[in-house]
Amino acid sequence: MKKTTQLKKMINEKRAVVAPGCYDVLSAKLIQEAGFELTQVSGFGVSACLLGKPDVGLLGWNEVVDMTWRICQAVSIPVMGDGDTGFGNALNVIRTVQDFIQVGAAGVNLEDQVFPKRCGHMEGKQLVSEEEMALKIEAAVQARKALDPDFVINARTDAIAVSGYEDAIHRANAYAAAGADMIFLEAPTDKKMIRDAVSKINAPISINLFDSVVGGKTPLIPIEELRELSVARVSVPVGTIFVVTKWLREYLKVLKERGIMPDRTDLLCTFDEFKGLVGLSEYKELEKRFLPRSVVQEKYKEE
* All domains in the chain, ordered by first residue: 3-237 (3.20.20.60), 272-303 (no CATH)
Q: Which amino acid is located at 236 in the chain? A: V
**Amino acid 101: pLDDT:** 98
Q: What is the pLDDT of residues 84-108, one digit of tens each?
A: 999 999 999 999 999 999 999 999 9
Q: What is the pLDDT of residue 120?
A: 61
Q: Looking at residue 104, what is its pLDDT? A: 98
Whether the per-residue pLDDT at 193 is higher than 60: the answer is yes
pLDDT at residue 200 in the model: 98
User: What confidence tens digit (pLDDT) does each residue in 16-32 have?
Assistant: 999 999 999 999 999 99
Report pTM.
Answer: 0.92
Spatial distance between the Cα atoms of 23 and 120, rounded to a whole number of angstroms: 17
pLDDT higher than 80, residue 9: yes
Q: What is the pLDDT of residue 243?
A: 93
Is 210's pLDDT higher than 80? Answer: no
- Strand pairing category for 233-236 and 205-208: parallel
- Residue 211: predicted pLDDT: 58
Would you say residue 119 has pLDDT above 80? Answer: no
Full DSSP string of 234-263: EEE-SHHHHHHHHHHHHHHHHHHHHSS-GG
Residue 7 binned pLDDT confidence (cut-offs 50, 70, 90): very high
Is residue 125's pLDDT more than 90? Answer: no
* 247 close to 255: Cβ distance less than 8 angstroms: no
